[in-house]
Structure 1
Amino acid sequence: MRVLLSIKPVHVANILSGIKIFEFRRRIFARRDINTVLIYSTKPVGRFVAEFDIADIIEDDPERLWLSTENGSGITKGYFDAYFAGREKAYALRIGELRIFSEPIVPADVIEEFTPPQSYMYVAGRGEDIRRQQQLPLL
C-alpha cells in the first residue's frame, strides 16, 4: 500500500539529492501496511516527482528523535523544534529506495479531482499506476 505525502519543494530537493534521508511527520498514518510514499511537491511545483520505500518508521519524543536523525534530517534544529513544538511524539520515515520520475506528473492527469492532502492520503498501487499511465521511466 502507498501513501501520498505533500512535501514542500525545498525538502523535496533535499530528498532527491540525498541530503534528507528522513521525512518528519507530526502524526503517522493509521494503516500499518504502508510501505511506499508517493511524493507530491507542493506549489509552485504541484507535481508528483518521485516515490520511495519506507525503510523504517521511528517514533520517539522530539528531542530523542532529533538526536537519532539529525545527520540525515536535511533541516536545521530550529526548524525541527518549531515543527514539533508542543508535541510529545514525533515520527521520522527513513527513506529507503528512491525512484525519481523522469518527468514530474500533473496529479489531475491521473487522479480525478485531485486535492493535495494536508497530511497524507492513501493511494493503493498508484505510484506504479501513475508511471504506467504516463509511460514514464524512472531516472
Structure 2
Amino acid sequence: MSIKPQFVEEIVKGTKTFEFRKAVFKRPVSKVVVYASLPVGKVIGEFTVKKIHHGTPNEIWKATRLGSGITESYFNEYFEGKEKAFAIEIESFTPYEKEIPLKEFAPQLKAPPQSYCYLS
C-alpha cells in the first residue's frame, strides 16, 4: 500500500492508527506492506489489520478522529463529494530493519501501486 511519507511517520510513531481510503480491498487482507511514496520511495514495514471500518465520511471521522493522525480539514478535503469512507484500523506496525527499494522487494512490479496491490 502506498502511503505518503508524512503519514508513514505518524504510523511508525503510533499516533496514526487508521489509514483512510476511498476504496478498500476486494479480498480479505490481514497484513499490509507499507510503501512510503516519493521522495522516500521505499518499503519500510508492515502492519496487521485489526478491522476495516466503513460508513459516511462524517461517521468515519467521528469514530476514528483520535487515531486519525490528520486534521479534520485534510480528512474532509480527501473525502469531498464522497458518500462512503473506509478506515483501515492498524493493530500493530512492524518496521523492517532497513528500508527496501520497491524493485528489490517486489521485482514483478513495474511501478509503485497508486493505492495498493496484492502480493503473494
Instruction: Please name the residue that 2:54 is paired with.
Output: 59
TM-score (norm 1): 0.83
Residues 44-74 of structure 1 show CA distances to partners (whole Å, capped at 9, x for unaligned) of 1000001000000000100010000000000
State which of 88, 96, 101 in structure 2 corresponds to 1:101. 96
Quote how far apart the aligned CAs of 1:98 are: 1.1
Matched, 1:122 2:104: no
Letter in 2 for 1:14: E
Residues 75-107 of structure 1 show CA distances to partners (whole Å, capped at 9, x for unaligned) of 000000000001100000000121111110011
In 2, Cα distance between equivalents of 1:43 and 1:6? 10
Query: What is the alpha-carbon root mean square deviation over aligned residues?
Result: 0.9
Equivalent pairs, count: 119
Deviates more, 1:88-97 or 1:105-114: 105-114
Residues 19-58 of structure 1 show CA distances to partners (whole Å, capped at 9, x for unaligned) of 1000000001111x21110000001100000100000000
TM-score (norm 2): 0.96
Alignment gaps of 5+ in structure 2: none
Instruction: Please name the residue that 2:7 is paired with.
Output: 11
Alignment gaps of 5+ in structure 1: 125-139
In 1, Cα distance between equivalents of 2:75 and 2:119? 27
Moved segments of 4+, more than 2 Å = none
State which of 38, 42, 49 in structure 1 corresponds to 2:44. 49
Matched, 1:24 2:24: no
In 2, Cα distance between equivalents of 1:11 and 1:97? 15
